[in-house]
């Protein structure tokens, strides 16, 4: 869940940059591919189980990797125009961007809620009581 929260945080930064530059001539949207991240995460979880490693490390994804220290590195791709560039040279569509922002917020909240539950359960175990 920590990696998912880190990914959605970085993706939100990229999406906010895209929205901020919607009127910038010749600006092309940057993307962090959520499906590619999820596949990389699944592969990393399976690899860590096979290797019996404590820490899950993303490898082999050009957009999102982790350093051996656990620090997250994100490298967004610049999107090509889906059809034709707009008259100002951009490929930005506000409706699509806002849809991506809303979806990303939901994924981020889910990851944070799952982390909160996990740490709440640990805190309960440490205290030795519930409630």
Kindly indicate the confidence band of residue 80, based on its pLDDT and cuts at 50, 70 and 90: low
- Alpha-carbon dihedral sign for residues 31, 35, 94, 8: negative
Model pLDDT for residues 9-38, shown as the tens digit of each residue: 999 999 999 999 888 888 888 988 888 888
The proportion of the chain whose per-residue pLDDT surpasses 70, expressed as a percent, equals: 84
Rounded to 5°, angle at Cα 24 from 22 and 29: 55
Output the average pLDDT for the chain: 81
Residues 82 and 28: beta-carbon distance below 8 Å: no
Whole-Å CA distances, 88 to 15, 48, 127 = 20, 47, 60
Q: Of 100, 116, 90, 111, whose CA–CA distance to 41 is shortest? A: 111
CA distance 25 to 33: 24
Task: Say what the pLDDT of residue 76 is.
Answer: 87
The domain locations on the chain are 2-127
Kindly indicate the confidence band of residue 107, based on its pLDDT and cuts at 50, 70 and 90: very high
Model pLDDT for residues 48-79, shown as the tens digit of each residue: 888 877 777 777 677 878 777 777 788 888 86
């Amino acid at each position: 869940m920590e990696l998912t929260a880190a990914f959605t945080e970085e993706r939100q930064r990229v999406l906010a940059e895209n929205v901020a530059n919607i009127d910038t001539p010749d600006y092309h949207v940057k993307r962090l591919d959520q499906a590619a991240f999820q596949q990389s995460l699944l592969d990393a979880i399976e690899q860590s189980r096979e290797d019996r490693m404590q820490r899950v490390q993303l490898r082999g994804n050009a957009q999102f990797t982790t350093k051996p220290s656990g620090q997250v590195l994100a490298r967004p791709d610049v999107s090509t125009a889906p059809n034709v560039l707009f008259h100002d040279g951009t490929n930005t569509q506000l409706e699509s961007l806002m849809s991506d922002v809303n979806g990303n917020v939901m994924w981020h909240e889910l990851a944070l809620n799952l982390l909160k539950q996990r740490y709440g359960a640990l805190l309960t175990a440490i205290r030795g009581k519930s409630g």
